[in-house]
Chains A and B, each alone.
Chain A
Amino acid sequence: MPDTDYLIVGSSHAALEAVTAIRMHDHSGSVTLVTRDRHPPYSPTILPYVVSGRAKPERVPLRDSGWFAAQGATFVREDALVGLDPDAFTARLESGAMWRYGKLLLATGARPVVPDIAGLETVPRHVLRTLDDAVALREAIGAARRAVVLGAGLVGMHAAENLVTAGLDVTIVERGAHPLPLYFGATAAAMIGQAFAARGARLLCGRTVASAQGGGDGAVALALDDGETLATDLLVVAAGVVPETGYLAGTDIGLGAAGGILVDAHMRTTRPGIWAAGDVTEGPAFGGGVAVSGILPSAVDQGRIAGMDMAGDRVPPYDGAIPLNTYAAFGRHAVSVGDALAEGDDLDVHEDGDPETGRYRRLVLRDGRLVGATVIGEAIDGGILRQLILRRTDLTPVKDAFLAAPRDTARVLMSRLWR
């Protein structure tokens, strides 16, 4: 039975950060990465750009083989984790291989949700979670004239933008009241929706698909809940993702309400010797509570913390995940940091927008401290806003300046702090 001091399952941001962190502290322990993917490591975030052609598949790897050699890490591809025996410290792979590990990091990410829609299982459809998915979708665009995207989250909207740009007739079906409901409020979402509408896309919000039926030549007919039928050559299902945890069957490793692997502030699971990081986790959220973060910056932070803790390095506890999102549609950038959608009497919300210029801001403060921000169409340093939130910097002395010119005021504050 092969064995390894550190077994890391997954090969994206969390896994890679963990390797680096382990090697900062432990030069000699054996490190093995196992991934079900057949490609070198890449970021799921890059996939919409592969679809659009902006990113070439051969240019997306985050690390090359030289990096693994330099880290002294073994990289096993195309073999998925299918089972664990936490008592025996063994991991079973799809190929039948059993690995004995000293410490295990689960960084297996998430998989797309297939909504419970009659017939959906049987019709041709695309999802966007792997590089192969992205390449397949890109190839399918060329043969299609009409497209339907189920879900107006980040993945769906990004895919939709690509399809619009490719010249397809695009319809987006979103169950929520407006697109990108997890990231933007109604006003901002409306501005985004207008950008799509201006380019001929249909955005059907507050609607769901009742059933799907296959037609000839790969065409699909979708019946909406209000009786409308959409015929399409290309169906993209972007209804969200759930943590990839099937291999935990039969173990007592704790899962959260949203299906993620429960982790503490050191990314430890409920079983000794097993850590988890990235999209697969359900862990501390900044400000309290537990959440599936599911964003790239959280995966980086969590992977690093997990790696340090696994190697016995001293690591301060995780601050908790802070939502951090960037979104661009048709060249217009939006940045959302922290609890940008928060509503409440205890909040000091400053919102203004100008549909003409496409500028929009929503700055949310509590007790003079920033808790969240959405900024569209103007320059902002999301990283500095994040620091202001994390550090609970008191903005009271500079509040007027901050509200008038958030970027420059925040830069002054941070420059002074770093000195």
Chain B
Amino acid sequence: MGRSFDTIRFRAEACDACGQCVIACARAKTGTDDTSRARLQILGGGTEGAELALCRQCTDPQCAAVCPSASLAKDPDSGVVTWEAETCVDCLLCTVGCAYGGIASDPVAGHVAKCDLCDGAPECVAACDRGALEHVTASRLYNTQHEREDLFAPGLSACHGCNSELLIRHTMRHIGRETVVAAPPGCIPGMGVVGYNGQTGCKVPVFHPLLTNTAAMLAGLKTQYARAGRDVTMVALAGDGGTVDVGFQSLSGAAARNDPMLFICVDNEGYMNTGMQASGSTSYGSWTSTTPVGEHMQGKSGDAKSLPMLMMMHNGAYVATASTAFLEDYHEKLEKAYATAQHGFAYLHVYAPCPTGWRFPAALTTEVCRRQVETNFVTLWEYTRDGGLRFTRPVEGRRPIGDYVEMIGKYRHLDQTHLDVIQHQVDERVAFLRRFAAPAGG
């Protein structure tokens, strides 16, 4: 229990039932083109879309629970529900236990057969060029993270659907106890990270700096630890107000001095903790309580200030943007940022769509994060002094910005003219960033 495993994800909307995956499976598993013997089957494919019958590699597999010969079992390492031919008695009770059609009789072999994920390299996924099958390996994250200590108390009081809690728990699990956290005023201390009247939600040393001075304060602290010869990592968990606006001077100074720290900006585009006022990071057109919508105002009239770009221009030792919809990407960047923070300045800008302040359903946060990236509203990249800027997710083939804007209540008042402006801003920003990107293969 408590482990997660790789799986094959099926996106029905991308599947046109071409059958390549089934053929690939039949070949890989039976050496024939007899698709009736394949371990996955694609069904339908008409106007109602394609459907899949495939083993889900259940955590608590019913096929195994009802097997009288103990021939089916969840492999604790790979997560594959394994089947042992030698002990199987072909009773077919497993097919009665499974609710997915994931284990079925191979009519030629005369016994049941099921997907074994091809030892971690599923042939069906390799054969799918429609993007309908994906080998999801995010389980590595879960498994490595959950072994590590959660450094926040359970029950932080973040708003429903806020991704900041997810982000900071992941972050601190990764970084560990030899750390000092500084969380300036904002949502993160607001959810109990620093604490209230003598109680705290954090298990590592944590400070509630001023909104204005997080980076300078950490720089001073790190200076003393460097004098003392102790390896302690400085971590800022700041909102965009404490980064983009009043926090910017001390941040700029620390970045320019290459002060060793990991500064994480959790960008929810405004002062959401205090009632959704606009910040320098608020995007064009956004409704906020200080950029309201009325006869004479249509939300924010200017564009957002791009802090990650500014940090790149400071020649920060490591600068990256990240989205919680792409946690593997985030963890790769966190790893690099953490390593950098031992000797230099590392900056991570993580986007935090705010269900409460942006007005979208709390259940959709991750989808909103994903859509930000898919529309290039947010681009995921990293900058190093040696490698320059590198996009970590493709920026080609973006979806139209309307696909993102339509999800968010704070844009509800926008018309096509506004949308055109935002689309132009997005495309311009990507074009601008491309100029800093190292040439392909370089």
A411 touches B51 (CB 8 A): yes
Which residue on chain B has the smallest CB distance to residue A64? Answer: B70
Give 1 or 0 for each of A388-419: 1 = CB within 8 Å of chain B CB: 00000000000000000001101110111011
B51 touches A326 (CB 8 A): no
Which residue on chain B has the smallest CB distance to residue A419? Answer: B12
A384 touches B101 (CB 8 A): yes
- Contact residue among A24, A337, A383 (Cβ-Cβ distance under 8 Å from B98): A383
Residues of B within 8 A of A46 (CB): 68-69, 89
Verify if B138 is at the interface (C-beta below 8 Å from A): no
Bound: A118/B44 CA distance, A: 61
Verify if B191 is at the interface (C-beta below 8 Å from A): no
Verify if A61 is at the interface (C-beta below 8 Å from B): yes
Verify if A43 is at the interface (C-beta below 8 Å from B): yes
Interface centre among A45, A49, A407, A415 (most CB of B within 10 A): A415
Which residue on chain B has the smallest CB distance to residue A43? Answer: B68
Give 1 or 0 for each of B69-101: 1 = CB within 8 Å of chain A CB: 110000000000000001101111101111111
A326 touches B43 (CB 8 A): no
Bound: A414/B43 CA distance, A: 11
Residues of B within 8 A of A152 (CB): none
Which residue on chain B has the smallest CB distance to residue A24? Answer: B1
Q: How far is the CB of A324 from chain B (nearest CB, A)?
A: 5
Give 1 or 0 for each of A20-63: 1 = CB within 8 Å of chain B CB: 00001000000000000000000111100100001100011111
A43 touches B69 (CB 8 A): yes
B96 touches A331 (CB 8 A): no
A297 touches B70 (CB 8 A): no
B105 touches A412 (CB 8 A): no
Residues of B within 8 A of A63 (CB): 70
A55 touches B69 (CB 8 A): yes
A387 touches B53 (CB 8 A): no
B residues 55-70 in Cβ contact with A at 8 Å: 62-63, 65-66, 68-70
A297 touches B89 (CB 8 A): no
Verify if A282 is at the interface (C-beta below 8 Å from B): no
Supposing A46-B69, A381-B101 touch, asked if A412 and B51 sit within 8 A by C-beta, the answer is yes
A326 touches B70 (CB 8 A): no
Residues of A within 8 A of B43 (CB): 408, 411-412, 415
A49 touches B69 (CB 8 A): yes
Residues of B within 8 A of A54 (CB): 89
Verify if A263 is at the interface (C-beta below 8 Å from B): no
Q: How far is the CB of A277 from chain B (nearest CB, A)?
A: 13
B97 touches A45 (CB 8 A): no
Verify if A265 is at the interface (C-beta below 8 Å from B): no
Give 1 or 0 for each of B10-41: 1 = CB within 8 Å of chain A CB: 00100000000000000000000000000001
Which residue on chain A has the smallest CB distance to residue B63? Answer: A383
Q: How far is the CB of B117 from chain A (nearest CB, A)?
A: 18
Verify if B441 is at the interface (C-beta below 8 Å from A): no
Verify if B229 is at the interface (C-beta below 8 Å from A): no
Verify if B107 is at the interface (C-beta below 8 Å from A): yes
Residues of A within 8 A of B439 (CB): none
Residues of B within 8 A of A24 (CB): 1
Q: How many residues of B contact A (CB 8 A)?
A: 34
Supposing A46-B68, A297-B93, A412-B44 touch, asked if A379 and B104 sit within 8 A by C-beta, the answer is yes
B69 touches A335 (CB 8 A): no
Q: How far is the CB of A280 from chain B (nearest CB, A)?
A: 18
Bound: A384/B48 CA distance, A: 20
Which residue on chain A has the smallest CB distance to residue B94? Answer: A383
Bound: A383/B105 CA distance, A: 13
Bound: A411/B70 CA distance, A: 26
Verify if B132 is at the interface (C-beta below 8 Å from A): no
- Contact residue among B12, B63, B70, B104 (Cβ-Cβ distance under 8 Å from A62): B70
Supposing A335-B96, A379-B107, A412-B44 touch, asked if A45 and B91 sit within 8 A by C-beta, the answer is yes
Verify if B52 is at the interface (C-beta below 8 Å from A): yes
Q: How far is the CB of B47 from chain A (nearest CB, A)?
A: 13
Verify if B154 is at the interface (C-beta below 8 Å from A): no
Bound: A55/B90 CA distance, A: 11
Q: How far is the CB of B97 from chain A (nearest CB, A)?
A: 6
Q: How far is the CB of A306 from chain B (nearest CB, A)?
A: 14
Residues of B within 8 A of A418 (CB): 100
Residues of A within 8 A of B68 (CB): 43-46, 62, 296
Verify if A309 is at the interface (C-beta below 8 Å from B): no
Residues of A within 8 A of B87 (CB): 55, 59
Residues of B within 8 A of A419 (CB): 12
B99 touches A61 (CB 8 A): no
B66 touches A381 (CB 8 A): no
Supposing A326-B92, A408-B43 touch, asked if A387 and B70 sit within 8 A by C-beta, the answer is no
Residues of B within 8 A of A331 (CB): 110
Residues of B within 8 A of A362 (CB): none
B101 touches A326 (CB 8 A): no
A17 touches B65 (CB 8 A): yes
Bound: A60/B93 CA distance, A: 16
Verify if A386 is at the interface (C-beta below 8 Å from B): yes
Bound: A45/B93 CA distance, A: 10
A383 touches B1 (CB 8 A): no
Bound: A13/B202 CA distance, A: 44
Q: How far is the CB of A101 from chain B (nearest CB, A)?
A: 25
B96 touches A337 (CB 8 A): yes
Residues of B within 8 A of A43 (CB): 68-69
A384 touches B91 (CB 8 A): no
A333 touches B93 (CB 8 A): no
Which residue on chain A has the smallest CB distance to residue B106? Answer: A379
Verify if A328 is at the interface (C-beta below 8 Å from B): yes
Supposing A49-B89, A55-B89, A59-B87 touch, asked if A300 and B101 sit within 8 A by C-beta, the answer is no
Bound: A415/B86 CA distance, A: 31
15 contacts between A and B (CB under 8 A): A45-B68, A49-B69, A49-B89, A55-B89, A300-B62, A300-B97, A326-B96, A328-B92, A337-B96, A380-B95, A381-B95, A383-B99, A387-B99, A412-B43, A416-B48
**Which 10 residue pairs across A and B have the least CB separation, nearest first?**
A43-B68, A415-B51, A382-B96, A45-B68, A326-B92, A383-B98, A49-B89, A381-B101, A46-B68, A411-B53
- Besides the contacts A331-B110, A382-B96, what 13 more A-B pairs have beta carbons closer than 8 Å? A54-B89, A297-B66, A297-B93, A335-B96, A379-B105, A382-B95, A383-B63, A383-B95, A383-B99, A384-B99, A410-B101, A416-B48, A419-B12
